[in-house]
Structure 1
Amino acid sequence: MRRIYLCFIAILFLAACGGAEPKWASDADVAKARYVNTGPTSITLYTVLSVANGSGQHSGLLIRGSENVIFDPAGTWHHPRLAERNDVHFGMSPMMEDFYLDYHARETYDVIQQTVLVSPEVAEAAMRRAMANGAVGKAQCSIATSGILRDVPGFENLPSTYFPKKLMEAFGKLPGVKTRKFTDTDTNSNHGVLLVQAGDPRLQ
């Protein structure tokens, strides 16, 4: 029975692989969107949790290195001012981070932000790994995120997992991690958030 169950799960995940949507912004667009990091280098894990039952719904990875990028595997968030290459979004300024949080935090979802300071070398290693990963299929955000982290010095002992909450809990045990929780009372319908963001006067 266990073998049948595992085979069924494997089939579901293989089917999800077909949902990957490759994107490749031009060099010019990437250069235009680039946001140079002037602060400490760090790696931040974002986890979206269900308010109803606390289950994990999504994982994203913000990397602050020589530039700021976010690896948002199989995510639905995007912004017209950014450039995307296979789930890596270039140009993650603090304002864009706010947009990312605003998009995900709403009445039915909370967002947990966990940040660890790292050396510039570790940040660059994480960035290279994210860029080399390729587009991620649906339901595979956490296995992709954990796979990237496990290849980076200092994060090797994190679990390889399909479950965002399990990855969040393990990440929370890393030395020096700083955690914040973001809540919002926005309606669960977020289809208009991107339009509002695109028209934000701070972008004019």
Structure 2
Amino acid sequence: MRGILLAVLCAVALSGCAVKPEIERSDDAVAQAAYRHAGPPELRLYTMKNNSTGSGAHSALMVNGSQRVIFDPAGSFRNEAIIRRGDVIFGVTPVMLDTYTRFHARNAFHVQVQTLPVSAELAEAILRASMTMGRQQDARCAASISSMLGQFPEFGISQTWFPNTLAEQFAQLPGVTSQSLREYGSDENSAVLAAYDPARVAAQRSAQPE
């Protein structure tokens, strides 16, 4: 087990799947950031993969329910313009989602996106569950998501520390579709966050599905 944890932590060091300083957000800020997307209720599992080795570096789960959020355990997608409480990112408009994807897809990594349509009731239950998870520790991205989804017997997801293993389990669920997103810019992704414009996000509160 020690060897497994060491391997996971090495991957964390390379991928940025590690806890960063948190900015405290008021209840009003979180409420104002809420974004209701017009698309169908669904889950999207994001798996960041090393282009050279294929190894999984990070996992995140987007939930589209009464609002659209990303559960991003131990993720590094943080700045003052991003409303995040615990490890839930709020205000996931199309601009926010595009920024999130481009932050992770670069020369060294691509992003596998697996989409699963779910009922409105199930999406809402998973949305609530993600908000109760709190802030997760380093290397717990896949472990936290798989643990949360494991609360729902209809998924049959077993807890795992490994993003690729989680993606493989998710792929077995009926109705899942998958695509890979790639960017070939610099591996220095801080510029993506620096260019993030919250005014564009606010302007998309009533945006249609992308």
> Which TM-score applies when normalising by structure 1?
0.86
Offset at residue 27 of structure 1 (A): 1.0
Q: Which residue identity does 2:69 align to in structure 1?
A: V
Greater C-alpha radius of gyration: 1
The superposition leaves residues 107-162 of structure 1 with CA deviations (integer Å, 9 ceiling, x where unpaired) of 1000000010101110111111111111111111100010111113521x122100
In structure 1, distance between residues paired with 2:21 and 2:147: 19
In structure 1, distance between residues paired with 2:154 and 2:21: 30
Q: Secondary structure at the match of 2:78?
A: coil
Q: Is the Cα–Cα contact under 8 Å of residues 62 and 69 in structure 2 kept in the other structure?
A: yes
Q: Is the Cα–Cα contact under 8 Å of residues 49 and 110 in structure 1 kept in the other structure?
A: yes
Tell whether 2:141 aligns with 1:137: no
Q: Secondary structure at the match of 1:197?
A: coil
In structure 1, distance between residues paired with 2:37 and 2:101: 19
Q: Is the Cα–Cα contact under 8 Å of residues 146 and 167 in structure 1 kept in the other structure?
A: yes
Q: Is the Cα–Cα contact under 8 Å of residues 21 and 135 in structure 1 kept in the other structure?
A: no
Tell whether 2:157 aligns with 1:152: no
Hey, what does 2:73 align to over in structure 1?
73
Offset at residue 37 of structure 1 (A): 2.3
Closer/same/farther in 2, CA of residues 23 and 124 from structure 1, 3 Å limit:
farther
The superposition leaves residues 47-87 of structure 1 with CA deviations (integer Å, 9 ceiling, x where unpaired) of 00000100000000000000001000000013544321101
Q: Is the Cα–Cα contact under 8 Å of residues 112 and 179 in structure 1 kept in the other structure?
A: yes
Tell whether 2:47 aligns with 1:47: yes
> Which TM-score applies when normalising by structure 2?
0.84
Closer/same/farther in 2, CA of residues 141 and 203 from structure 1, 3 Å limit:
same
In structure 2, distance between residues paired with 1:60 and 1:93: 16
Closer/same/farther in 2, CA of residues 141 and 114 from structure 1, 3 Å limit:
same
Closer/same/farther in 2, CA of residues 147 and 125 from structure 1, 3 Å limit:
same
Closer/same/farther in 2, CA of residues 79 and 122 from structure 1, 3 Å limit:
farther
Q: Secondary structure at the match of 2:97?
A: helix
Gaps of 5+ in 1: 1-5
In structure 2, distance between residues paired with 1:22 and 1:132: 17
Hey, what does 2:172 align to over in structure 1?
173
Offset at residue 98 of structure 1 (A): 0.5
The superposition leaves residues 15-67 of structure 1 with CA deviations (integer Å, 9 ceiling, x where unpaired) of x9x95866652111011111012220001100000001000000000000000
Q: Is the Cα–Cα contact under 8 Å of residues 20 and 76 in structure 2 kept in the other structure?
A: no
Offset at residue 175 of structure 1 (A): 0.5
Hey, what does 2:192 align to over in structure 1?
193
Hey, what does 1:3 align to over in structure 2?
none
In structure 1, distance between residues paired with 2:177 and 2:194: 31
Percent of paired sites with the same residue: 36
Tell whether 2:106 aligns with 1:83: no
In structure 1, distance between residues paired with 2:73 and 2:160: 14
Offset at residue 178 of structure 1 (A): 1.2
